[in-house]
Structure 1
Amino acid sequence: MVASFPAVSINYPRGRFDIELYLNFMKLVGQNQDFRIQYDSLHRLFLLPRPNSSQTIVAISVDPPIRKGNTYYPFIICQFSNDEERTLELDISDEALKAKNDASSGRPTEKTMEGTLPDVFAKALRGLATAKLTKPGKLPDVRRQRLCRPCVFQGR
């Protein structure tokens, strides 16, 4: 196991899971069900801070989607608190880390990461899965002083 994140609140599929990151796959260990997801099936990561809240959502795009019962889940929505700072040391050899960095097209992954819990989780997963990470841009909502745009989901 390269890294682990215990008791992560996941909104979609609903539950609290321990997330274990391995060299070639990630594992969601829950009370009733476990999911094993190959890094090849992770396409994009989204780091989405919630406005007027101290929480950040990390959305993981999965193709083929994971299945729980008769329901398919194309995204895994993890919710983290911004209040918790974390230092993470990846338990990975230097050769394996160099191979992962050569395979990725983005920034190289560091062996030691520190910052808020959602940032550390997203960086570690981006480095191991070589998936693209999308963060909020620099286009602020001038009226409310936020880095987001208001929108309506399923509005009429």
Structure 2
Amino acid sequence: MTSQAPTPAAQEPVVSAGSLLKPSASEGSTTPSIVSTAAANASEISMATALGACSGYATKKLAKTGGLIVGLGFIGVQALVHADVLKVNWPKVEGLLIGRVDQDGDGKLTHKDMQIATGRLLRNLVEDVPSSTGFAAAFFLGFRYG
């Protein structure tokens, strides 16, 4: 029987901080570095933040414009009612509107309906966005200060 020296097990390569920042000649340029990964992440986060702020701003402006249109429409309808040109069945109008915008199906417009609608809006907006947290935070800032 001959005794053989045990073969060394495969060892993990030792990685130094300097080798993470620039690839060695044997690695070529295919190995990603911390710098390029951080730059890509920063780019994704800043893009999501900018898109979130713009979306929040646009949502607030659309809500204001929608409120203006509904308000002017109500004033016009009330002017026609006052002039005896039009008769409005307001309980029926209320029932139709609540049926369309009621999110939880309880037949009333409550704070919970607004939470559900806001959640759905944000879920649709952040779908496939790299940094949904940055998007959501910037959306609320854009909405608040827009």
Establish whether TM, by shorter chain, passes 0.5: no
Q: Shorter-chain TM-score: what band?
A: under 0.3
Q: Which has the higher contact order (CA 8 A, sep 6+)?
A: 2
Q: Which structure has the larger Rg?
A: 2
